[in-house]
Chain A
Amino acid sequence: MDEAALIEALRSGDGQAFETLVRTYGGRLMSIARRMLHDEDDAREVVQAAFVAAFQNRASLPADSSISTWLHTIAVKTALQKLHDRPRMPEEAVAGYLPRFLPGGVHAETFAPWPERVEVALAHKEVAQQVREDIETLPETYRTTLLLRDVEGMSREETATIVDTTPNAVKIRLHRGRMALRTLIARRLTGDPS
C-alpha cells in the first residue's frame, strides 16, 4: 500500500491500516519514548496512548502530509504529558558537564582528541548504546530539547511550541545539552575525566 492509500485508509478508521501503522512505526515510536522517558513501562504506556490518540485524531491526518511526522508529533506530545505528570524532580544542574574557564576566559581543561572518527566509533554497537545512555543521563529539559532538535529534526519553533517555551530558551538548552553530552561522550571515548 502506498502512503496516500494508507492515509486514506487511516482516515476512514480501517483496522487493518492501523495494524500496518503500529507494525511499521511502533519500533521507532518506542525508541523515541524510551529516550524521552528513560523507563520501559512508561515508554510502553506512551506508545499505546499515542496510537490510541492517533486513532482518535485520524481526521486530523492531512491527506498530503507525512505519516511519520504526524505520528512523531503525537508521540512526542504524549511522552511530554507523561513527563509532566511525574513528580517534578529538581532539575539537576548540567553545570558540572559544561566547560570551565580560568580567569581571562581560557579553557581550564585541555581536550584530548577522540581516538576514532565519530562515524567509525558509532559504528560499534556498544558505543552507540553508550551514547544513547549518555543522552538518557542528561537532565530532562536538555535531553528533550536535544532529542527534538538534533535527533528528530524539529525546528526551533516547533520544539518551542511542543515543550511550551520560547525559541530563545530552546537555543540555550540545545547549546548546553550538546556541551554536556560532549563531556559525557568524551569520558567514554578517551577515558578522560575532563
Chain B
Amino acid sequence: MTCRDVSRFLREYFEDELVPAERQDIEAHIAECENCRTYLTQYQDTIKAAQLACEDANVADLPEDLVKAVIAAIAQERR
C-alpha cells in the first residue's frame, strides 16, 4: 500500500465501504506514514470546515426588497 493508494481510498475509508483487509492495509500504512496521517486528518477536517462555513449561523436574512419581489411574484401567480 502506497500513499497514492491511501489517498485513492480515503473516501471509502471514511464512509466505511472497505473490506476489513483493505482497512487494515490503510491503517498499517497510516501508522507508519506521518504525512498520510496529516492528510487523512485534513481530509476529514475539510468536510467539517465546509459544513461549519455554510452553517445557518452564517446565513443572513433575505434582503427586504427581495422578500417583497418574491411575494409580488407569487401574488402575480394567483391571478
Binding between chains A and B: yes
In angstroms, Cα B36 to Cα A175, docked, is 16
Q: Is the interface of B mostly helix, strand, loop or mixed?
A: helix
Q: Is there an interface contact between B51 and A150, defined as CB atoms closer than 8 Å?
A: yes
Pairs across A and B, CB under 8 Å, 17 listed = A13-B78, A15-B74, A22-B71, A27-B59, A48-B70, A51-B73, A101-B4, A107-B36, A112-B38, A119-B52, A122-B48, A132-B58, A150-B51, A178-B43, A182-B43, A185-B45, A185-B49
- Min Cβ gap A122→B in Å is 4
- Interface membership of B75, Cβ < 8 A: yes
Q: Is there an interface contact between A111 and B35, defined as CB atoms closer than 8 Å?
A: yes
Residues of chain A within 8 A of B16, CB atoms compared: none
Q: Is there an interface contact between B45 and A114, defined as CB atoms closer than 8 Å?
A: yes
Contact A23-B67, Cβ < 8 Å, known A51-B73, A107-B36, A179-B43: yes
Interface size classification for chain A: 35 or more
Q: Is there an interface contact between B52 and A30, defined as CB atoms closer than 8 Å?
A: no
Q: Is there an interface contact between B66 and A47, defined as CB atoms closer than 8 Å?
A: yes
In angstroms, Cα B78 to Cα A151, docked, is 34
Of the candidates B35, B39, B49, B78, the one having the most CB atoms from chain A within 10 angstroms of its own CB is B49
Residues on A lying within 8 angstroms of B by beta carbon are 13, 15, 18-19, 22-23, 26-31, 35, 44, 47-48, 51-52, 55-56, 99, 101, 104-107, 110-114, 118-119, 121-122, 128-129, 131-132, 135, 146-147, 150-151, 171, 174-175, 178-179, 181-182, 185-186
In angstroms, Cα B4 to Cα A107, docked, is 7
- Min Cβ gap B53→A in Å is 4
- Min Cβ gap B25→A in Å is 13
Contact A28-B3, Cβ < 8 Å, known A18-B71, A22-B70, A178-B43: no
- Interface membership of B31, Cβ < 8 A: no
A15-B74, A135-B53 known; 4 new pairs, CB 8 Å cut-off, are A26-B62, A111-B38, A174-B11, A181-B46
Residues of chain B within 8 A of A181, CB atoms compared: 46, 49-50
- Interface membership of B21, Cβ < 8 A: no
